[in-house]
Amino acid sequence: MYIAIKELHSFIGFMTLTLFSFAIIFNLISWLGKKPFTNVNKIITLVGMVSVHTQVLIGLILYFLSPLGLSNFSGVAMKDAQSRLYILEHPLIMIIAFVLVTVGYSKAKKLTDDNAKYKAIITFFFISLILILSRIPWSIWI
């Protein structure tokens, strides 16, 4: 079970980064090209957000199954940078990114002006992407 969820988290991680980055780039190009915010923008933005939601949900399950997750929580482990990344920094920063993505999407949904919609999505999603990229265990993953 643990291995299956770990592999899923790793695989969905690639998909999340691709779909989420694509949502930012697509909206950025539309905004710079002064194009209206269409249903296509809406769907691509929604897919980007849902990919982060899915990955966070799988991450939460993994946190309780992995020997690097909750079961490794101790004062000693917190003093080790790699252990601390999995126990605290990775989950916490990813959850903050999840909240920002959701807030950005909800804000954009309420706005009527296309320019303001683009700004809300691009700003919130971009900050989230930076946070996500900053706490991925790159050395182990790739």
Q: Is 104 in the site for ligand HEM (CB under 6 A)?
A: no
For the CA atoms of 94, 100, 104, 109, what is the dihedral angle to 10 degrees? 80
Residue whose CB is nearest to ligand HEM in the complex, by number? 59
The residue within the footprint of ligand HEM, chosen from 19, 31, 45, 90 (CB under 6 A), is 90
Task: Give the single-character DSSP code of 88.
Answer: I
Restricting to residues 2-61, which ones interact with ligand HEM according to CB under 6 A? 6, 9-10, 13, 16, 52, 55-56, 59-60
**Residue entry with tokens 């980007």:** 48
Q: For 100, phi and psi rounded to 5 degrees?
A: -65, -40
Nearer to ligand HEM, 94 or 100 (CB): 94
For the CA atoms of 11, 43, 38, 114, what is the dihedral angle to 10 degrees? -80
Where on the chain is the footprint of ligand HEM (CB under 6 A)?
Answer: 6, 9-10, 13, 16, 52, 55-56, 59-60, 62-63, 66, 68-69, 86, 90-91, 94-95, 97, 132, 136-137, 140-141
